[in-house]
Amino acid sequence: MASSSGSKAEFIVGGKYKLVRKIGSGSFGDIYLAINITNGEEVAVKLESQKARHPQLLYESKLYKILQGGVGIPHIRWYGQEKDYNVLVMDLLGPSLEDLFNFCSRRFTMKTVLMLADQMISRIEYVHTKNFIHRDIKPDNFLMGIGRHCNKCLESPVGKRKRSMTVSTSQDPSFSGLNQLFLIDFGLAKKYRDNRTRQHIPYREDKNLTGTARYASINAHLGIEQSRRDDMESLGYVLMYFNRTSLPWQGLKAATKKQKYEKISEKKMSTPVEVLCKGFPAEFAMYLNYCRGLRFEEAPDYMYLRQLFRILFRTLNHQYDYTFDWTMLKQKAAQQAASSSGQGQQAQTPTGKQTDKTKSNMKGTNGFSPYFNCCDEDGFWTLRSQETPPKQPQDKPRTSAHWGKEYLKTED
């Protein structure tokens, strides 16, 4: 912890955010739950040592400020320095899609995949309209809203218009921030065109692979400068990951990381889209073929891609009610907890394991999610209690890029 005595009560950042406990960690440092002492609001605080070899929090804060106001973009409350740390205060969010995928026993229904695809395309489109590409599209970087204190602008699932509405927990949960998807982690994001002139960055080759190899586009593997098309292709692999539960290039073995990435690239290029998408609606193959066919500077037709999945959604007679797979599992868990007699009595979780009803069966890798209960009495994600005080963040090796730097991810 920042205080030498380890007392979290003494550490206040930005003049009003008191750190409560550690809720996650990353390459840059640690993430803490904090309380706004003026109104009791819970927020997330990222701490990065000022002695970090490759500081990234300032860059990330600048990107968030550029993106502020967009649907599904976390709100930044404060950035500055406190004691020996760079500090970023932002919205507290819920679990990632990777965590929720694990929570649902690594099975998403087609309804859930299509509802997610609709929001994910819109999130990426918004970043692109702000002249940036994300370059690390993956399930871990999409988080659900926590469901409390939500006053968000939500997208209409049909058509181009957006509707703004104030949401409270007493309203229809279909329209609560609980069901809103957020895009995070802009450490690898890059400006692809000039704000004023709209001039696109030049085509280049011999670039290092930037992003996560599992979801990287073929062109990224080939060392070609990334552009908007690469974010969209990566999303196609994410959707097929949810459909198939894994991708053909996962789990490949090699003597070195470089050889492993080469194997992933070879397998990805040798797997026809039709084989990758076999057994699933043709719209997924259409999506990937479209993205792979885009030119370097070409703007994706985001509405066309959304409509592919929206028409499929209607064809399958699904109702756009924001009832995701985990929503039903959480409701079942809440019912089981309510039916248990006595505080702390054992109850069956959706995965069939015994657990104390105050604990989560979430086993994800995201920094936030292991600290979340499945649900509370309202069906929202809630932070678990944690007895141990937060530890002092370490100056860890960097795992994402600073401004203008290229970086090779170590994940498959």
Instruction: List the catalytic residues.
Output: 136
Both tokens of 406, joined, read 């290229």
Give Cα 23 to chain centroid, integer Å. Answer: 16
**Cα-based angle 121, 127, 130 (whole degrees, multiple of 5):** 140
Greatest CA separation for the chain: 66
- CA atoms of 86 and 138, how far apart (whole Å): 26
Gap between the Cα atoms of 410 and 412, Å rounded: 7
- C-alpha 399: how far from chain center: 16
Q: Is 163 buried (19+), middle (13-18) or exposed (0-12) by CB count in 10 A?
A: exposed
Q: Measured between alpha carbons, how far is 73 from 64 in angstroms, rounded to an integer?
A: 8
3-state secondary structure of 390: coil
Q: For residue 2, which of 23, 24, 19 has the smallest C-alpha distance?
A: 19
46 labeled part of a ligand binding site: yes
CA atoms within 13 A on the CB side of 380: 18
User: Which region, left, alpha or beta, applies to residue 342 given φ > 0 means left and ψ of -120 to 50 means alpha?
Assistant: left
Answer for the pair 322, 173: CB distance below 8 angstroms, yes or no. yes
How many Å apart are CA 25 and CA 120, to the nearest integer? 24
Six token digits for residue 299: 């703007």
| Residue pair 182/93 in contact by the 8 Å Cβ criterion | yes
Counting every residue written for the chain, the total comes to 412
Q: Report the distance separating Cα 229 and Cα 236, nearest Å.
A: 11
Beta strands 132-133 and 85-90 are: unpaired
What residue type is assigned to position 117 of the chain? A
Residues making up the annotated binding site for ATP are 46
Residues making up the annotated binding site are 46
